Amino acid sequence: MKQSDHKTNETYLAKWLAGEITDKEIQTYISEKDFLAYTKIKEGLEYFVAPEFDVNKTKKNITSKIQQKPKKVFQLNWYAAAAAVILLLTSAYFFNASLPTHIQTNFGEQKTFVLNDGSEAVLNAKSYIQYPKKWNDKRELDLHGEAFFKVKKGKSFTVNTNNGAVTVLGTQFDVNSQPDFFLVKCYEGKVRVIQNRDTIYLSKGKAYQNYNLNIDLWDFTSDQPNWVKGESDFKSVPLEVVLNELENQYEIKIKSDKIDTSQLFTGSFGHKNLNIALKSVFYPMGINFKIENKKVFLSKK
Amino acid sequence: MTSDEVCEPEVFDNIYVTNANNLRNFLYYKYGDLKAAEDVVQESFIKLWVNCTKVAIEKAKSFLFTVANNLFIDIKRHEKIVLTYKKRGNSSVNKETPEFIMQEKEFMDKLQITIGSLPDKQREVFLLNRIDKKTYKEIAEMLDLSVKAVEKRMQKALIIVRKKIGNI
């Protein structure tokens, strides 16, 4: 009987230590002599201690080292943006002026709306736009994320982003401003892009893209951005930007630490079916993906 | 690319407070070098901070243990571990003879040496359980093992200790 028990429960000592097997039960597995020895070992072990550890001192070291390293630009921008919004809101409150209008989209959401001068704007997923109730001499608004504008002819119209400003008189254009990534496409008329003191003019059918200071200019033919029609397309953009857009459209989290997110991607994905979208991006890139409840894990093939 | 909860200073502090000590002890039990263990704890948390946007909060613990382990392997092979033990309190009821006290000391010294000579994988589990009072489940989570594997290591460790100590 003892023998069979040994086989079915090979970790009886571990279970006894954890209190899952009583002193009485354990003696069906081992001799009394062994039982006494194990009991003494168990008791003796109670007197051992780990060396002292000054948790606070180590924490201080960590804190001082962390502070030497600047946080990612991405976060700084966010804080700066948040601070700017708060500042704007509070100053508006104090001067008793009307609060600015802000419009925000969630994951996978798009909003089309008319600005107070009659211009039209389409806001892509996970984006944010803010403009005053009333424009006086200049038309100006703030944008985070991506939007497509059809601007009524009139005074200068400026879109301010963390990456730079886009100014037009009357035209149709798309602006996509992400951390370290800036894209402007002109669909009609003429657009002026100001970024880091450089000024670029785009005429109809011209696109401008800046990723980490790598500038790209090209021609295109469509009359409105594909994302308005339910498809996001990219031309030589770092995979990072594509992943961000996937996350925004499908409300997922993508774990990309196992792959190189700076490699460039040209292609598109639709906004209807996550699985197909993931396939259309990752198959050509030679990347495997696995979906586990709203999280996508990426790995090399 | 993912949520940046871990980047919140309060969340990060919390992760530190709950894991720093465990991590340090684990490293010490495994490699026996106290100074290096503390340095590696520092480095691991800095790594976590730098990667705070990529590590989900529920993965922070296993991230720390994996990073720490890898850092240590890079540094060197381990040293002999010597744990100290507290004096057993003198019982006021039971007067102990000098002989008994000596026997006890001999036993404790033997136990000390034996623990130090356990194979790494058994020792780290054994000490996390016996000294840090971590349950098998907690240890399994920390080291990314199954509970069954932890139990097996405990079982083996205890048998080795018993054998090496011999007759008591």
For chain A, domain boundaries? 3-98, 102-226, 230-300
Q: What is the pTM of this model?
A: 0.46
A-chain residues near B158 (CB < 8 A):
13-14, 17, 38, 41
| Range list of β-strands (E), B15-149 | 84-85
pLDDT at site B41: 92
A-chain residues near B24 (CB < 8 A):
53, 58
Give the confidence band of B162 by pLDDT, cuts at 50, 70, 90: very high
Least confidently predicted of A212-216, B14-18, B87-91, B147-151: B87-91
What's the angle, vertex CA A60, arms to CA A54 and CA A63, rounded to 5? 140
With CB atoms and an 8 Å threshold, state whether B34 touches A51.
yes
Mean pLDDT computed over B155-161: 94
Nearest CA in chain A to B40: A58
d(CA A159, nearest CA chain B) in Å: 26
Using CA atoms, how far apart are residues B86 and A48, in angstroms rounded to an integer?
6
For chain B, domain boundaries? 3-94, 98-164
B-chain residues near A261 (CB < 8 A):
1
Is the confidence at residue B95, as pLDDT, over 60? no
Nearest one of B111, B121, B168, B112 to B143, comparing CA atoms = B121
* CA dihedral angle for residue B50, residue B54, residue B57, residue B59, rounded to 10 degrees: -100
Q: Which fold has domain A102-226?
A: Jelly Rolls (2.60.120)
Using CA atoms, how far apart are residues A164 and A176, in angstroms rounded to an integer?
11
Using CA atoms, how far apart are residues B138 and B145, in angstroms rounded to an integer?
10
Instruction: For residue A9, count other CB atoms closer than 10 A to its CB.
Output: 16
Structure tokens, A300: 């090399």
Nearest one of A218, A221, A281 to A249, comparing CA atoms = A281
pLDDT at site A197: 73
With CB atoms and an 8 Å threshold, state whether A247 touches B1.
yes
Using CA atoms, how far apart are residues A129 and A142, in angstroms rounded to an integer?
6
One DSSP character per residue, A99-121 reads PPEEEE--TT--EEEE-TTS-EE
With CB atoms and an 8 Å threshold, state whether A44 touches B34.
no
Mean pLDDT computed over A232-257: 88
Instruction: For residue A256, count other CB atoms closer than 10 A to its CB.
Output: 20
Nearest one of B67, B63, B49 to A67, comparing CA atoms = B49
- State how far the alpha carbon of B113 is from the alpha carbons of A147, B31, B99, B163, in Å: 69, 15, 21, 13
Contact in structure between A225 and A238 (CB atoms under 8 Å)? no
Which of A15, A33, A43, A58 is most worth mutating to test chain B (most B CB atoms within 10 A of its CB)?
A: A58
d(CA A44, nearest CA chain B) in Å: 7
Using CA atoms, how far apart are residues B161 and B154, in angstroms rounded to an integer?
11
Using CA atoms, how far apart are residues A283 and A298, in angstroms rounded to an integer?
11
Kindly report, residue by residue over B22-48, the tens digit of the pLDDT.
Answer: 999 998 888 887 888 888 899 899 889
Option in B21, B50, B161 nearest A55 (CB): B21
CB of A66 less than 8 A from some CB of B: yes
Contact in structure between A191 and A171 (CB atoms under 8 Å)? yes
CB of A94 less than 8 A from some CB of B: no
Of residues A180 and A71, more confidence is placed in A180
State the architecture of A230-300 in CATH terms: 3-Layer(bab) Sandwich (3.55)
pLDDT at site A89: 59
With CB atoms and an 8 Å threshold, state whether B165 touches A41.
yes
Using CA atoms, how far apart are residues A224 and A206, in angstroms rounded to an integer?
12
Is the confidence at residue A34, as pLDDT, over 50? yes
State the architecture of B98-164 in CATH terms: Orthogonal Bundle (1.10)
B-chain residues near A61 (CB < 8 A):
42
What does R_g of chain A's alpha carbons equal in angstroms? 30
Long-range contact set of residues A197-203: C-beta below 8 Å, sequence gap at least 24? A202/A173
Q: How far apart are the first and last CA of chain A?
A: 52
